[in-house]
Amino acid sequence: MRFLRVPLQYALALVALAAALFWLPASVRAAAATPTDDEVNAVASQLYCPVCENVPLDVCGTQACSQWRAIIRQKLQAGWSASQIHAFFAEQYGTRVLASPPFAGASVLFWLVPLALLAAGTVLLVRTLRKPATAATGAAGPVSEAHAARMERELDDWR
């Protein structure tokens, strides 16, 4: 039976290898595949060209952008997520390369000010729309002298 031992060992090793490949984590298998241009551009679209102003990285034709897209491809191939890649670029080149400013530090203003202005505008709009109805109600019908005098008195108090 000794002659059977060596082939059996090989067979067991092959089975173990096949099993390992089958159960390999998805991220590792994904890392082995080359990312497509669409995948690279999806990440790049959330970054801005370091050289040209207001040009997203996915549509930028400069050499610098080309180098950056190559880095994105490498990182995706290594299994990095989009947010990890964005964080890497922010650390290397500053937060100004990000399409969306981070919700931290002074950048918080970019998020909060528009929301505050929107809220203030909504309140103003609602109040403005309500006013004519109140005025119309108040203007209906003749006003007696006593009523007018009382209104003047209350107006004085209010002022």
Partner 1 sequence: MTGAEAPLLAATPAGLARRWQLLAWLLLLALLAVVGAKLVQVSRGSATSGAAPLFTLASFDGTQHTLQAYRGKIVVVNFWASWCAPCAAEAADLEQTWQAYRERGVVFLGVDYVDTEPEARAFIELWQQTYPNGPDRGTVIAQAFRIRGVPETYIIDQRGQLQAPIIGPTNRAQLSAVLDRLLAQP
- Give the shortest CB-49-to-partner 1 separation in angstroms: 9
Binding mask 54-83 for partner 1 (x = CB under 8 A): --------xxx--xx-xx------------
The span from the CA of 134 to the CA of 139, in Å, is 9
* Sole residue written with tokens 């190559």: 70
Do 49 and 57 form a contact (C-beta atoms < 8 A)?
A: yes
Q: Give how far the C-alpha of residue 10 lies from the chain's centroid of Cα atoms, to the nearest Å.
A: 52
Q: By CB under 8 A, how many residues form the interface with partner 1?
A: 27
Do 108 and 76 form a contact (C-beta atoms < 8 A)?
A: no
Q: Answer yes or no whether residue 158 interacts with partner 1 by CB under 8 A.
A: yes
Q: Answer yes or no whether residue 153 interacts with partner 1 by CB under 8 A.
A: yes
Do 56 and 45 form a contact (C-beta atoms < 8 A)?
A: yes
Q: Which is nearer to partner 1, 29 or 150 (CB)?
A: 150
| E strand or H helix that includes residue 69 | helix 63-77
Site for partner 1 in 26-55 (CB under 8 A): 50-51
- Give the shortest CB-22-to-partner 1 separation in angstroms: 35
- Give the shortest CB-71-to-partner 1 separation in angstroms: 6
Binding mask 85-124 for partner 1 (x = CB under 8 A): ------xxxx-xx-----------x---x--x---x----
Give the per-residue SS3 of 80-148. CCHHHHHHHHHHHHCHHHECCCCCCHHHHHHHHHHHHHHHHHHHHHHHHHHHHHHHHHHHCCCCCHHHH
Q: Answer yes or no whether residue 8 interacts with partner 1 by CB under 8 A.
A: no
Q: Which residues bind partner 1 (CB under 8 A)?
A: 50-51, 62-64, 67-68, 70-71, 91-94, 96-97, 109, 113, 116, 120, 147, 150-151, 153-155, 158-159
